[in-house]
């Protein structure tokens, strides 16, 4: 691949090209307290926002911006139709996702597949059945600990670009960390579910529905009924959006 100046700036800003200064900057983040949140609107975030699908996937695969790069087996980018009508966003890879390189492949993944099927969607679905699934973090936090704010801030631009590229008609936001990232709030899932939110995507306001993370539902079976209600709401929102399209 030839490296024209504009492309070089993008790669350099990502810390995946031969720009030692910015790679050093990434290593500074990795060495620093992961709870420290880097400044928003950085050159790195702007560079990520300009990438196409293949460049974005490569940038994630080569990313060393936070300390999770040291302990991952591989990055977990996303799965599904890149032009899907639906997008589901979770938290971070677990051990099985880290081993396979695909989001939601363990027990929580099987539950998510059942949730998708309940509203007529599948990972390999097309058209109205299509879905793209991604996490906020692309690397597994060791021991499945919670993501740190600094890690979320550094990884968030990748997710935001995925959302822009998919340009879905509805987004289902699963769990606290996806909510914090995409809706920019610390409010509880309980207080946010049952109504329609909006996420700005490339100048367009995309409806979003909040629900529990499948891993949480495995531990809290009583909340499965609430999750089913959330999916029904998302289905209604999608049908309204499809009718208006
Ligand atoms: S979690 Fe995200 S920011 Fe951190 S190394 Fe992995 S891809 Fe990069």
Question: What pLDDT digit, counting tens, does each position of 102-124 carry?
Answer: 999 999 999 999 999 999 999 99
Distance from Cα 60 to the centre of ligand 1, integer Å? 7
Residue nearest to atom 3 of ligand 1 (CA): 155
As averages over each run of 10 residues, the pLDDT of the chain (245 residues) reads 49 45 44 56 88 97 96 97 98 96 95 96 96 98 94 96 97 97 96 96 93 97 96 97 87
Pocket test for ligand 1, best of 59, 137, 152 (most atoms within 8 A of CB): 137
Give the pLDDT confidence of 146-155 residue by residue, as tens digits: 999 999 999 9
Rounded Cα distance, 42 and 134, in Å:
23
| C-alpha distances in Å from residue 48, one per residue of 42, 55, 162, 186 | 10, 9, 10, 25
User: What are the residue boundaries of the structural domains of the chain, listed by start?
Assistant: 76-244
Distance from Cα 125 to the centre of ligand 1, integer Å? 28
Give the pLDDT of residue 244: 87
Q: Domain spanning 76-244 has what CATH number?
A: 3.40.470.10
| C-alpha distances in Å from residue 218, one per residue of 2, 106, 107, 123, 215 | 48, 11, 8, 20, 5
Give the pLDDT of residue 38: 60
Distance from Cα 142 to the centre of ligand 1, integer Å? 13
Cα Rg for the chain, rounded, in angstroms? Answer: 18
The structure's pTM equals: 0.87
Residue nearest to atom 2 of ligand 1 (CA): 155
Residue nearest to atom 6 of ligand 1 (CA): 139
């Amino acid at each position: 691949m030839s490296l024209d100046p504009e492309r070089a700036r993008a790669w350099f800003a990502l810390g995946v090209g031969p720009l030692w200064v910015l790679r050093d900057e990434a290593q500074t983040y990795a060495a620093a307290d992961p709870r420290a949140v880097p400044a928003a609107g950085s050159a790195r975030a702007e560079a990520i926002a300009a990438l196409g699908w293949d460049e974005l996937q490569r940038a994630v695969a080569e990313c060393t911006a936070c300390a999770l790069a040291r302990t991952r087996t591989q990055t977990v980018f996303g799965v599904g139709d890149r032009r899907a009508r639906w997008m589901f966003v979770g938290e971070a890879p677990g051990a099985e996702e880290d081993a396979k390189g695909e989001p939601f492949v363990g027990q929580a993944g099987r539950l998510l597949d059942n949730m998708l099927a309940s509203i007529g969607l599948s990972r390999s679905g097309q058209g109205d059945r299509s879905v793209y699934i991604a996490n906020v973090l692309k690397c597994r936090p060791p021991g499945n600990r919670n993501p740190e704010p600094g890690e979320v801030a550094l990884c968030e631009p990748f997710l935001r670009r995925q959302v822009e590229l998919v340009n879905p008609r509805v987004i289902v936001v699963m769990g606290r960390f996806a909510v914090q990232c995409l809706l920019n709030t610390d409010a509880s899932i309980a207080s946010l579910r049952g109504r329609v939110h909006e996420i700005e995507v490339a100048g367009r306001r995309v409806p979003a529905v909040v629900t529990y993370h499948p891993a949480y539902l495995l531990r809290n079976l009583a909340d499965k009924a609430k999750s089913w209600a959330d999916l029904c709401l998302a289905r209604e929102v999608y049908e309204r959006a499809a009718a208006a399209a």
